[in-house]
Chain A
Amino acid sequence: MNEIAFLTPDPDVLARREAIVAGLADLVPTEALVTDPRELVPFETDAFTAYRRVPLAVVLPGTTEEVAAVLAYCAEQGVPVVPRGAGTSLAGGAIPQEDAVVIGVSRMNRILEIDHDNRTCTVQAGVTNLAISDRVAADGFFYAPDPSSQLACTIAGNIGMNSGGAHCLKYGVTTNNLLGAKVVLLDGTIVDLGGKALDAPGLDLLGLLCGSEGQLGIITEATVRLLAKPEGARPVLFGFDSSEVAGACVSEIIGAGIIPVAIEFMDKPAIEICEAFAKAGYPLDVEALLIIEVEGSEAEMDDMLARIIAIARRHGVASIKESQSATEAAQIWKGRKSAFGATGRIADYICMDGTVPLGQLSHVLRETYRIVAGYGLRVANVFHAGDGNMHPLILYDVNDPAEAEKAELAGADILKLCVDAGGCLTGEHGVGIEKRDLMLHQFSETDLNQQMAVRAAFDPGWILNPSKVFPLSFSRQGAS
């Protein structure tokens, strides 16, 4: 297998393990410190499970002040720190290393304030994404970014990865819905960025923090924007005889001035996998499926759907299925939202996450099939067609090292293809360790040096989540 390299743990840090653990024990209550080898197991990887390393220790603080004390201590001791939310990163963003202390915010899970008039919600960083919407639903509000992992993933992790979801087409991703954050800097300083005002003064540090993958500071609280829940929502299934036609249909819908809340695309293998699992009523005799969701009152949805259906008919749509009830709507989304889980039941897979300009979707899809077939493997595609975020799932057998290597090579080829088509390596999952070494395909050395210089303004010694995002050979860590 084409192994991703880990840094050699710092022998000096390893040798001081007992003293470091004792130092941590002085800073947090006993229940917040995890050192027992068996209890460390859940923290040795995230959702990028092919790689695991047991960390030196895990701290699960209960307050911002505890985070500050622990971070300042680790920085002073020269001990690497890996910030962690729920550990659902698909890119290995929260995978630790043997000489690192994991600081997890999962115990900081209180909703601190709901402000309906200003439409904000302030939460501790370990609150799960879905918990916010659940809490404000009865009052007619919701929090828009909705990653498929929303039941488990935390706001901290969402900010770390700038996560998105199926409804981003209309509502944007995390960075567009985040108003403020409390952040602990490396030396233990606590700063508040942004707040309830829409514009923040000075440089947009909050924007920089979003998607920084735990390299700049540790987020302990967040203030997010709440939105009023629409009157109703209706997803509709459109089956097409070819992916190209489905793609052309999407272009024309958008060209006609219609922005649905979501346009999700599935190819035939994905349709079959999801239907077998979720029994969502997906048509099995088509090559491509679009789930298009519209929102509003019955009259508004009827109006918008009439426009969309007229366009789809002009493109020779093979089948149309409107959901007639909330249960049917939930079924349709269940199929889509369980795509990863359902695929996992039939085969091992790696999930890619490249984005491409909308006009390149068909081309990239065609090339993806060619690339994967070239390695003798299979691929299923589900993606957010409205914003060009592709998720090819490359199927392989994890027990066959040759196949595993081919899957990784095919994945890398696909991501390079996305970049060459004018897109980028990752739309929402992040770089982590997974795509670290592909960064030079998208950026020049000068580009990366500038990013690393900005990173160093926060963390000159590469203490925070080292060896992520930037190519090992290239970062200061790798050089030493």
Chain B
Amino acid sequence: MVAEARGAGRTLAIAGAGSKAGVGQPVTADAAIASTGLAGIVEYNPEELVVVARAGTPLADIEAALAENGQALMFEPADWSRLLGSNAGQTIGGIAATNMSGPRRILAGAARDALLGVRFVNGRGEAIRNGGRVMKNVTGLDLVKLMAGSWGTLGLITEVAFKVLPRPETEVTLAVDGPGAADAAKLMARAMGTSAEVSGAANLPGPIAGRVLADGRAGRPTTLLRLEGFAVSIAERIGRLTPQLGAGHDIAQLDAAASQRAWAAIRDVAPFADGTETPVWRISAAPMAGHAVAADILGQTEGEAFFDWQGGLVWLRISGEDPQADRVRTSLAAHGGGHALLVRTGEDARARTSVFQPEPAPVAALSEKIRSSIDPDGVFNCGRRPFASVRRAA
């Protein structure tokens, strides 16, 4: 089908389940190719810590199979469907293609770190295999990393192999009263600098805490620190961690169920899943810089923000319709740089705004050459990314 489209000079849009169809520049394509027909787990032996599945397999199916064996995808894939106002389930291929990682990324790595192998169809219509299903592999060029986070701009992923790990026995989250974002960044840095193996570190301003936490703490600014593992070990680590947090903080403990609810809400950006199309940015900065970027932007425009990944992942919602891309990117650049992705916005703004972070010219030129080496005629997902050679749909 790909070879045919290429031959005919037509372009293709790649779709998983359509959960993130609202992200990115609108794709201009002559036809869509959906991976949802390519479904099913191909191989899964729990003691090998690897799951191999076809790209269109619903994430829910994979998670169910893993849960049955007490295992999980450690990068904790997020689900943006409520944020984006769709009810589509996600596919495992879409998770790989978007490098979709949740709060545990600060300890356990991103989806790209767990992605061991891929099969994909390139723009020449050739089936390519790269990586494998083993933990360590340096055989040839690592195209797996290129495919992770490529958003369908290089090729159609048909099969993925992910590393899995035992699901932690239990979890506890320390809910620390306050402080404001800048002090919270320092507090989280201290926590991450201990041997407590904090697996989630987020800071929520009062109103957002109210939307995430159901208990008596709701509505007060809160810093959350998650510990996972065997119960004995968690108790030990709380003992190591608390003295480092500094005096004068009121610290509550969320039990496993409350902890799970809170982190799922943070992961899925629930505080901004409000059924509107107000612009939502996902900003990745150095952990100590996140709060400064947000303060800078929110000093000039109305909106609200909260912080995951030890402060380095800023979720920022802007009131009104204008995503204010220049303001966001200028602030980010002024604070050490990073990556700002416009995750949600109205259809009009989406067509006009650079949704993905623009790259420095030499890097963009290199990326363009790489794209050409995989999809020489630009068959896939035209328009989704600002590639120079993007052709218009026929």
Interface residues of A (CB under 8 A from B): 115-120, 140-141, 161-162, 164, 168-169, 172-173, 175-176, 185, 189, 191-193, 195-208, 210-212, 215, 228-231, 251-252, 254-259, 296-297, 299-300, 303-304, 355-359, 384, 386-389, 422-431, 435, 439, 442-444, 446-448, 450-451, 453-458, 469-470
Contacts and interface: CB of A to CB of B under 8 A. Distances in A.
Contacts of A255: 46-47, 166
Contacts of A387: 134-136
Interface in B127-152: 127-130, 132-146, 148-150
Interface string B98-132: 01000001100110110000000010001111101
Contact of B135 (A206, A388, A451, A456): A388
B286 A195 contact: yes
Given A117-B186, A189-B362, A297-B236, A212 B139 contact: no
A424 B185 CA distance: 42
20 contacts: A193-B363, A197-B286, A197-B339, A198-B284, A199-B110, A199-B338, A208-B143, A255-B46, A255-B47, A300-B232, A303-B232, A357-B45, A359-B47, A422-B132, A423-B134, A424-B137, A446-B126, A451-B143, A454-B370, A454-B373
Contact of B284 (A199, A359, A458): A199
Chain B interface size band reads: 35 or more
A196 B312 CA distance: 9
A328 to B, nearest CB: 22
Contacts of A456: 373
Interface stretch (B8-16, B189-197, B207-215, B319-327): B189-197
B163 to A, nearest CB: 9
B110 A198 contact: yes
A417 to B, nearest CB: 14
A212 B110 contact: no
Given A117-B288, A447-B129, A231 B373 contact: no
B367 interface: yes
Contacts of B128: 446-447, 450
A427 B48 contact: no
B360 interface: yes
Contacts of A205: 363, 366-367, 370
Interface of B: 45-50, 70, 99, 105-106, 109-110, 112-113, 122, 126-130, 132-146, 148-150, 154, 165-169, 185-186, 189, 192-195, 230, 232-233, 236-237, 240, 284-289, 309, 312-313, 336-339, 356-360, 362-364, 366-367, 369-374
Contacts of B135: 168-169, 355, 386-389, 427
Which are the 7 A-B pairs with shortest beta-carbon distances? A207-B145, A257-B166, A196-B286, A201-B357, A387-B135, A427-B136, A197-B338
Contacts of B144: 207
A240 to B, nearest CB: 17
A455 B146 CA distance: 13
A444 B181 CA distance: 52
